[in-house]
Structure 1
Amino acid sequence: MERVRILASKKPVVIFSKSTCCMCHTVKALFSELGVYPAVHELDAIPNGREIEEALLTLGRNPAVPAVFIGGVLAGGNKEVMDRHLEGSLVPWLIQVRAKWV
C-alpha cells in the first residue's frame, strides 16, 4: 500500500494500468487529448506489478485497473474519470494540481 501512495504522489496525475486493458487505453487517451501526460505504471510490465494490483484491490478498485490518481488522491477508474470529464469537473481539478495549464 505504501508503494502505491509513494508512486501516486510523485506526479500530478498517475495511472496504474495494464498494457492489454482497453479501458486503461481509453483513460490514457483522454488525458493525452486533454494535453496531460501522466505517469503511467503498466502493472503487467513491472516486477512488483502484482503487489501493486493487490494494494489497489484493497483500496476498493475492482477491477484494480485503471486506477487514476490526481494530486495524490484516488480519482477512480475509467467510469469515474469519464463521468467527471462529462460533468465538467475533471479539467478544473487538473488545472488545480498543475497537470494542465490554461
Structure 2
Amino acid sequence: MFNQERLMHYQVEPSWNYFMRLRTMEEDEMERIMRLVSQSAVVIFSISRCCMCHAMKSLFCGMGVNAMVHEVDEDPKGKEMERALMRLLGNSTSLPVVFIGGKLVGSMDRVLAFHINGSLVPLLKDAGALWL
C-alpha cells in the first residue's frame, strides 16, 4: 500500500544525512587546515599540476621563503580540504591558497596584489619567514 508520508520521509532523510555528514567532514578538514597552517610561517595549499600553483611556489622560493606546500591532489581527503578552503575564501576563487603567519592571505590574485603594492615582504618579515 502506498503511503505518501513514508515516501516523503525517505526522500528527505537521506538528503539531510548527506548534508550533515558533509558539514562534519568540512569541520574536520577546517581543523586539519588550521593545524597545518600553524606548523609553518608560510603555507601554500596547491595542486601539483596547476600552473598558477607552480607560479605561486616559484614566487616564494625566488624570494627565499621556505614555504610548506600541501599538495591537495595528493591527499586522500583532498576534495574535502579543497571544499573547506573554498568555503574560507567565499567560493570565489580556486587554488593556490596561501596562509602567512597563520592568517589567510588568499589566492593568487590577492598575494600578487600584496607583492605589487609592497606589503608582501613586510608581512613575510613579521611572520618570521623572511630575513633581509
Compute the TM-score of the two structures, normalised by the length of structure 1. 0.94
The structure with more helix, counted as a fraction of residues: 2
Residue 61 of structure 1 deviates from its aligned partner by: 4.7
Percent identity reads: 50
Residue 10 of structure 1 deviates from its aligned partner by: 0.9
Structure 2 Cα separation of the partners of residues 88 and 54 of structure 1: 31
Pair 1:8–1:85, CA change in 2 (3 A)? same
Residue 62 of structure 1 deviates from its aligned partner by: 3.6
Q: Which residue of 2 aligns with 1:63?
A: 93
Residues 47-66 of structure 1: per-residue CA shift (max 9 Å, x gap): 12111111101112543310
Q: Which residue of 2 aligns with 1:80?
A: 110
Pair 1:22–1:62, CA change in 2 (3 A)? farther
Structure 1 Cα separation of the partners of residues 102 and 95 of structure 2: 16
In the TM superposition, structure 1's runs of 4+ consecutive aligned residues that sit over 3 Å from their partners are 61-64
Structure 2 Cα separation of the partners of residues 84 and 46 of structure 1: 29
Q: Which residue of 2 aligns with 1:12?
A: 41
Residues 9-61 of structure 1: per-residue CA shift (max 9 Å, x gap): 11000000001111111111100110001000001111121111111011125
Structure 2 Cα separation of the partners of residues 15 and 32 of structure 1: 12
**1:42 maps onto 2:71 in alignment:** yes
Gaps of 5+ in 1: none
Report SS of the residue matched to 1:44: helix
Q: Which has the larger radius of gyration?
A: 2
Which structure would you say has the larger RCO, counting Cα contacts within 8 Å and 6 or more residues apart? 1
Gaps of 5+ in 2: 1-29
Q: What is the letter of the counterpart of residue 24 of structure 1?
A: C
